[in-house]
Amino acid sequence: MRDGPADPRRRVPRTDALLADPDLAAAADALGRDRVKAAITAAQDRARRGEITPERVRDAALAAVATAAPRAVLNATGVVLHTNLGRAPLSAPAVDAVVAAAGHTDVELDLATGRRARRGRDALDALAAAVPDAGAVHVVNNGAAALVLAATALAADAEIVVSRGELVEIGDGFRLPDLLESTGARLREVGTTNRTTLADYAAALGPRTGFVLKVHPSNFLVTGFTSAVAVRELATLGVPVVADIGSGLLTPDPLLPDEPDAATTLRAGAHLVTASGDKLLGGPQAGLLLGDTDLVERLRRHPLARALRVDKLTLAALAGTLHGPTTPTRSALHADPATLRQRAERLRDALGIDGRKAEVVPCASVVGGGGAPGVELDSWALSLPESYAEPLRTGEQPVLGRVVRGRLLLDLRCVPAEADGTLRTAILRVGEQPCG
């Protein structure tokens, strides 16, 4: 192609002009001029090859240097607990607690006596208060770790009795059977994929039984000719019952009637409940262990517990979550559809762009994070051309939506109302560029 006056490559901004940009200059101060200059050069080369427009060179360079740390993303996907976006966003009190704990903290010290104290006592006390049906509680670094600790402490060189229909894959290729067998436990599978009875469990019990495991299949549904055994029935078998409820719901939520919660499961007779902290609880990544005092203490004192110990930042965030007001996760789950529609309409009107480009449409949000499969939440979205998806995702303020039938839907359920102005600015910035 001839390099003429209309050649878009002539519009590629100069390096010195980009280095003078306030945001890129700030990045150079923080990360070094050479690193930022290399990112600018790479973005300029992309524009010259036609991969991006010249107007997007600055944002592309900023995006490249921002990969040194996690970037804040506006979640407009409609997935409340988006695993790729870190699942639950922390509440303001939890964030404040993490910042306070970033320096020296009394995580394992009693300031009144000057002596060593129980590690993370504030978080553990808050968790115990939230689920008074638990005789004791403990926290490890994620949900899988909670189950591994239980299997190691209670069933190493023994058998775990579990239904075949509950041997789930938990994500990224990790499978529950592999996880449990890595501890030295042997799985005693009972029943079939779709039907398991109490008699199946009873027939499998013996002197080598460590415990019966009940797993909530939180990321899929089996329908039709099915049967499963409730915790209340399993508790009659005379052996420990460990229930992995998965999504971290501590008490019942009418919005999710089929999602098990810790309090109800313990009252039904489970000896130990394991769950995740970064799902429906709305806190940091953590594995929660709640149950009989002797059992939890046995796990807490097991040598493996040290390797699975959570750090001070996680404990601070968990305490802030449990002590604080409604979490962003709960607010998103219970968002009023009528309010979401009003916000979407105000956003559309504030954009002032062609009505064929921006429309307000109904849509369905989901819980995500391996929780409440099949549950859809009525919601509203701003619908834009699909060509907006990539520049919004890679812009100075990343915005992630979902593409449906050639349109980009920006579902407002998980976008805080105070971020509507930021979202408007991001959309307008894309609208000023040639994006098809």
pLDDT, tens digit, for every residue of 327-358? Answer: 999 999 999 999 999 999 999 999 987 666 89
Q: Please name the residue that has the structure tokens 């968002």.
A: 335
Q: Are residues 387 and 416 in the same domain?
A: yes
Residue 4 is predicted with a pLDDT of 52
Q: Are residues 286 and 344 in the same domain?
A: no
Q: What is the pLDDT of residues 31-53, one digit of tens each?
A: 889 999 999 999 999 999 989 89
Rounded Cα–Cα distance for residues 354 and 166 (Å)? 51
Average pLDDT, the chain: 92
Q: What is the pLDDT of residues 349-400, one digit of tens each?
A: 999 876 668 999 999 999 998 778 788 999 999 999 999 999 999 888 899 9
Which ranges in 110-205 belong to alpha helices (H)?
121-130, 143-155, 176-181, 198-204
Residue 357 is predicted with a pLDDT of 86
Residue 232 predicted with pLDDT over 70: yes
Rounded Cα–Cα distance for residues 64 and 35 (Å)? 10
Q: By C-alpha distance, which of 244, 218, 220 is closest to 231?
A: 244
Q: What is the mean pLDDT of residues 230-256?
A: 95
Q: How many CB atoms lie within 10 A of CB 161?
A: 26
| N residues, the chain | 436
Rounded Cα–Cα distance for residues 327 and 89 (Å)? 8
CATH number for the domain spanning 415: value is 3.90.1150.180
Rounded Cα–Cα distance for residues 250 and 345 (Å)? 35
Q: Are residues 313 and 362 in the same domain?
A: no
Q: Are residues 320 and 237 in the same domain?
A: yes
Residue 321 predicted with pLDDT over 60: yes
> Which residue among 325, 340, 372 closes a domain?
325
Q: Are residues 49 and 136 in the same domain?
A: no
Confidence of residue 432 (pLDDT cuts 50, 70, 90): low
Exposure class string for 163-182: b at 16+ Cβ within 10 A, else e:
bbbbbbebeeeeebeebbee
Residue 433 is predicted with a pLDDT of 58
Domain range spanning residue 240?
Answer: 92-325
Residue 379 is predicted with a pLDDT of 98
> Which residue among 277, 294, 325 closes a domain?
325
The angle that helices 143-155 and 293-300 make with each other, rounded to 10 degrees, is 100
> Is the separation of the CB atoms in 204 and 188 below 8 Å?
yes
Q: What global pTM score does this model have?
A: 0.85
Residue 367 is predicted with a pLDDT of 94
Residue 127 predicted with pLDDT over 70: yes
Residue 362 is predicted with a pLDDT of 97
Element (H, E) at 136: strand 136-140
Q: Are residues 315 and 350 in the same domain?
A: no
- Higher-pLDDT residue of 247, 85: 85
> Which residue among 67, 101, 125 closes a domain?
67
Q: Which amino acid is at 369?
A: G
Residue 67 is predicted with a pLDDT of 65
Q: What is the mean pLDDT of residues 135-155?
A: 96
Q: What is the pLDDT of residues 184-222, one digit of tens each?
A: 999 999 999 899 999 999 999 999 999 999 998 866 777
Give one DSSP letter per residue of 67-102, joined into a string. Answer: TTS----EE-SSEEE-GGGTSSPPPHHHHHHHHHHT
Please tell me the total count of domains within the chain: 3
Q: Are residues 355 and 374 in the same domain?
A: yes
Q: Are residues 381 and 244 in the same domain?
A: no
Confidence of residue 226 (pLDDT cuts 50, 70, 90): confident
Q: Are residues 162 and 184 in the same domain?
A: yes
Residue 434 is predicted with a pLDDT of 47
Q: Are residues 199 and 294 in the same domain?
A: yes
Exposure class string for 401-433: b at 16+ Cβ within 10 A, else e:
bbeeeebbbbbbbbbeeebbeebbebbebbbeb
Q: What is the pLDDT of residues 390-428, one digit of tens each?
A: 999 988 889 999 999 999 999 999 999 999 999 999 999
Q: Are residues 281 and 336 in the same domain?
A: no
Confidence of residue 2 (pLDDT cuts 50, 70, 90): very low
- Higher-pLDDT residue of 228, 9: 228
- Which residues, 6 or more positions from 133, have their beta carbon under 8 angstroms from its beta carbon? 262, 263, 266, 267
Q: By C-alpha distance, which of 382, 388, 386 is closest to 434?
A: 388
Q: Are residues 312 and 332 in the same domain?
A: no
CATH number for the domain spanning 228: value is 3.40.640.10
